[in-house]
Structure 1
Amino acid sequence: MALFTAIAVFGSSFIWFPAGIAKAYPVQHAVNVIAGVLLGPGPAVVIAFVTGLIRNIMGTGSLLAFPGGMIGAFLAGYIYRKTKQKWSASVGEIIGSGVLASLFSVPFAKVFMGSSAGAFFFMPPFLVSSVSGSIIGYVLVKRLVKARAWKYRLDH
């Protein structure tokens, strides 16, 4: 879990791109997919939380990293666990981070950040970030399976 957290924090410092009004950080979403498949929903949520916490302490993240990362991480792991299909973790990440977290961010941003932005303000950048990261995460999971790098979770 610490390694995935380190990858997410470090990767987010270097790999990002503009996505409308925000920045897309695909490494966090890729880590969510990989951790959801390899470790399950609980550890994936912890990784997303600790990553968001460290990035906020460092000044490289926003409070929206918490709902964005944690909801997607949970759904990536949960949907994978229910279906046993690796691609379903990516779908869970996109639904969780791209759709649900963007909707949850409206009241979250109002309460914690004083912003009155609507859902469509958050959804496009959240979707761009989660789709790009989910694709990367899926490709990496497929490579890990092919290399037999992680037998425990993938055999269940």
Structure 2
Amino acid sequence: MPVRKLTVTALLVAVGVLSSHLVYIPVGVSKCFPVQHAINVLLAVLLGTRYSVGAAFSISLLRNILGTGSLLAFPGSMAGAALAGFVYKRTHHILGAVLGEIIGTGIIGGLLSYPIAKYLIGSQVGAFFFVAPFLISTTGGSMIAWLLCRTPVATYFKEKSV
């Protein structure tokens, strides 16, 4: 069973890293990436918090190594993945995971990005500068995940408990 979960996670990490060359929204020193948020919600629903956060960290790390991400990918994606998994575990509802992702990435991740931007990147933006673009990015990606979670394929994986 863990091999299947790791395989699904690895495949989604690959999708996240490969698509980062194509789909991102530049906002100042950050690169908003809606595909990341869709993957966070999908993994939170299908496999749970640990796999969602692990994939978020892996995608952020690989994107930074390949030069397609920024350091701000870490707090945004990981906070969203953690809250999406936590809320889904409590509610057992896809919309719970979507709201967890939006609040975790958009608000919490946006606020956690401020010290990283200020002290590590040297940006002089305000504390709430990243909240709006992160909210836009995560809302789009989370809605994509919500649609994907309602497909027969996702239902099949959920019933089989991957």
| TM-score using structure 1 length | 0.90
- Alignment map for 1:3-152 (pairs within 5 Å): 3-17=11-25, 21=28, 23-144=31-152, 147-152=155-160
Q: Greater CA deviation, 25-34 or 8-17?
A: 8-17
Q: How many residues were matched structurally?
A: 153
Secondary structure at the aligned position of 1:121 is classed as: coil
Partners of 1:60 and 1:146 in 2: how far apart?
29
Q: In the TM superposition, what is the alpha-carbon distance from 1:98 to its structure 2 partner?
A: 0.5
Report the 3-state secondary structure (helix = DSSP H, G, I; strand = E; otherwise coil) of the residue aligned with 1:14. coil
SS at match of 1:15: coil
2:149 and 2:155 in contact (8 A); partners too: no
Q: Point out where structure 1 has 5 or more consecutive residues left out of the alignment.
A: none
Which runs of no fewer than 5 residues in structure 2 stay unpaired? Answer: 1-8
SS in 2 for 1:62: coil
Please tell me whether the aligned partners of residues 29 and 133 of structure 1 are also in contact (alpha carbons under 8 angstroms): yes
- RMSD, matched Cα: 1.8
Cα offset, 1:106, TM superposition: 0.9
**3-state SS of paired residue (2:18):** helix
Change in 2 beyond 3 A, CA 1:127/1:117:
same
Which TM-score applies when normalising by structure 2?
0.87
- Give 1:129 deviation, angstroms: 0.3
Q: How far apart are the structure 2 equivalents of 1:74 and 1:152?
A: 23
User: Residues 92 and 145 (structure 1 numbering): CA distance in 2 closer, same or farther, change over 3 Å?
Assistant: farther
Distance in 2 between the 1:87 and 1:93 partners?
10
Q: Between the two proteins, what is the percent identity of the paired residues? A: 46
Cα pair 2:106 2:131 within 8 Å, conserved: yes
Q: What amino acid is the match of 1:111?
A: Y
User: Which amino acid in 2 is paired with 1:68?
Assistant: G
